[in-house]
Chains A and B, each alone.
Chain A
């Protein structure tokens, strides 16, 4: 999980999905591996479209991937 307003569970979800690599996830979402790394570290907040693509890649809802902290 990353610090900041938007937390994500990408690392855990990748692990639960047969140790999916960042490269594989990037391929499924049509982005670069660097973008997945940036999102995973919390350095970049993805657009809604990309957030839905990531959730779809894991077969879960967006709220299972991202959490908004007040």
Chain B
């Protein structure tokens, strides 16, 4: 297993672990009926720091890749973005047309819906990385 494949699997494991943690946190703050500017600020600070730390870590990892690995990385990232957009479209319109415009989807499900989308996108990225690394079909 190459460095790129290994790192991609680690990323998938991290996202997989974060989904139930996030769901539990959502369950807690939904029970507390969290709303208003204070809760928004707390969320923005926590998410902001986490994203900043993850971006820095990811940047350091990418700097260690060679040019071919970087190409694979960006190609798989692009594909995961397509998967994420496809998932959002499918779930949004799917929910609309199955539940109906007048139906009720609880607002607490929206953040979980987003995080599950992140997991699916990461799964797609990891799968693509493994496929491209093993087939050598990574040329643009």
Contacts and interface: CB of A to CB of B under 8 A. Distances in A.
Interface of A: 30-32, 34-35, 37-38, 41, 43-47, 49-50
A32 B136 contact: no
Interface in B1-50: 2-3
B133 A34 contact: yes
B52 to A, nearest CB: 29
Contact of B68 (A41, A44, A49): A44
A30 B137 CA distance: 21
Interface of B: 2-3, 66-69, 133, 136-139
5 contacts: A32-B2, A32-B68, A34-B133, A43-B136, A50-B67
A32 B138 contact: no
B58 to A, nearest CB: 19
A31 B66 contact: yes
Contacts of A47: 67
B137 A43 contact: yes
B95 to A, nearest CB: 42
Given A32-B2, A32-B3, A44 B136 contact: yes
B134 to A, nearest CB: 10
Contacts of A50: 67
A41 B139 contact: no
A64 B2 CA distance: 30
B139 A35 contact: no
Contacts of B66: 30-32, 35
